[in-house]
Amino acid sequence: MVSFNKNIQVLFAIVLIMALLILLKGFLIPFAYGLLLAMIIYPICKKMEVKKVPRPLAVFLSLLVVVLLLLIVVIIFVFQMRAIRSELPELSSKLIKFLLNTQQWISSSLGFSISEQDDIISDAIKSLLLNIGEVLSGSMNLAIDTVLFLVIIPLYTALILMYRGLLVNFLSAIIGQKYKERLPVVLSETIHVYYNYVIGILQVYIIVGILNSIGLLLLGVHYAILFGMVTAFMTIIPYIGIIMSAILPITMIWIQTNNVLYPIGVIAIFTFVQYLEANIIFPYVVGKQLGINTLASIISIFLGGVIWGVSGMVLFLPFIAMLKIVSNHIDELMPLNAVLGIPKYV
């Protein structure tokens, strides 16, 4: 009976945690990103503080390094857009020719005259114009949310780094005397885990970039290595990133070959590589860096996707790694540590 009651309490605690994660995700997701970023740049900040740099300045300079790295990615993307700009007139003429050929094929094969097709397209454009207000409103709201998200995350990061002493004291007060002495070790290992997480992410992007580049080279795309690597790193921006970066190689191969099968080939390559990245490369490489087995990695990614969407797929894996570290120092959670860890034969 005692064991049954204990299991009920554990189940209730899990359900309560899940409910809180869903209800408070508007606050928890940006805070979790901020915490992750703070742990990543903490070593840089700490080194500057050791050299007598004031903490506010050290935090500012650490964040500036991250912003500059992101700016480099944006500059590379803009550079690509400029490089392909000269091809736009040719692309436009090819697009018009392709649409005319498609209309003629539909007319001869399906019996829809070109005038009937034009009427359908005209009606579709009118319908789109009638709903353009809602589309623009939704796009505006998404843009505002994105800007707020990008502002709030560095703010949380800066505050966490500034007041990290208070947070450590808070943790020390709530964990009790039994585990108080182990707290510094747990925090040190956690920071090391997040460092490994970043290394694992970089390895994933490099592997995905190499696979993309090989596929594009086989198709004969110009600047295949550049497009392949940029497309890999642009997946940092969920969904939108790969779509924006894929437009460039698709455009180039279409102009080169004047054959619609080649752009379809580019899409197939990126889709296949993304499938490998999401289901095999990311769980294995990052999970190995974090000391988590592939099964636990995949489960955490899918569970994160169910609870927090794309952000959950990114954030749950390092947090599961943190849970593994904590379980390694708490006797009652040692079975959990065994389930999450990499077996000895791997």
Q: For residue 203, is it within any domain?
A: yes
33 lies in the same domain as 157: yes
pLDDT in tens, 49-93: 888 888 889 888 888 888 887 787 677 667 766 766 666 666 667
Residue 68 in any domain: the answer is yes
Query: How many domains does the chain contain in total?
Result: 2
* Residue with more model confidence, 54 or 331: 54
pLDDT of residue 72: 79
Same domain for 201 and 154: no
Give the mean pLDDT of 16-41.
Answer: 84
The answer as to whether 334 is a domain residue is yes
Residue 170 lies in a domain: yes
pLDDT at 343: 67
- Say yes or no: 155 and 275 in one domain: no
Whether 20 is covered by a domain: the verdict is no
3-class DSSP string for the chain: CHHHHHHHHHHHHHHHHHHHHHHCHHHHHHHHHHHHHHHHHHHHHHHHHHCCCCHHHHHHHHHHHHHHHHHHHHHHHHHHHHHHHCCHHHHHHHHHHHHHHHHHHHHHHHCCCHHHHHHHHHHHHHHHHHCHHHHHHHHHHHHHHHHHHHHHHHHHHHHHHHCHHHHHHHHHHHCCHHHHCCHHHHHHHHHHHHHHHHHHHHHHHHHHHHHHHHHHHHHCCCCHHHHHHHHHHHCCCCCHHHHHHHHHHHHHHHHHHCCCHHHHHHHHHHHHHHHHHHHHHHHHHHHHHHCECHHHHHHHHHHHHHHHCHHHHHHHHHHHHHHHHHHHCCHHHHHHHHHHECCCCC
Same domain, 327 and 216: yes
- pLDDT tens by residue, 240-259: 567 777 777 887 777 777 77
- pLDDT-based confidence at residue 136 (cuts at 50, 70, 90): very low
Q: Are residues 31 and 154 in the same domain?
A: yes
Report the alpha-carbon distance of residue 319 to residue 306 in Å, rounded.
Answer: 15
Cβ neighbours of residue 264 under 8 Å, at least 6 residues apart? none
With a cut of 80, say whether residue 30 has pLDDT above it: yes
Residue whose tokens read 């700016």:
71
Residues 207 and 78 both lie in one domain? no
Q: Within this chain, do residues 291 and 227 fall inside the same structural domain, yes or no?
A: yes
Report which of residues 199 and 235 the model is more confident about. 199
Q: For residue range 86-113, what is the model confidence (pLDDT) as tens digits?
A: 666 666 677 677 777 777 777 777 676 7
Confidence of residue 139 (pLDDT cuts 50, 70, 90): very low
Q: Which two tokens stand for residue 144?
A: 């505002």
Pair (156, 261) in one structural domain: no
Structure confidence at residue 190 (pLDDT) = 78
On average, the pLDDT of the chain sits at 76
Examine the pLDDT at 346 and tell me if it is beyond 60.
Answer: no
pLDDT tens profile 283-328: 777 777 777 777 888 888 888 888 888 778 778 878 888 888 877 7
313 and 167 in one domain? no
**38: containing domain:** 27-84+147-174
Residue 223 has pLDDT above 70, yes or no: yes
| Domain shared by 260 and 340, yes or no | yes
Q: How confident is the model at residue 4 (pLDDT cuts 50, 70, 90)?
A: low
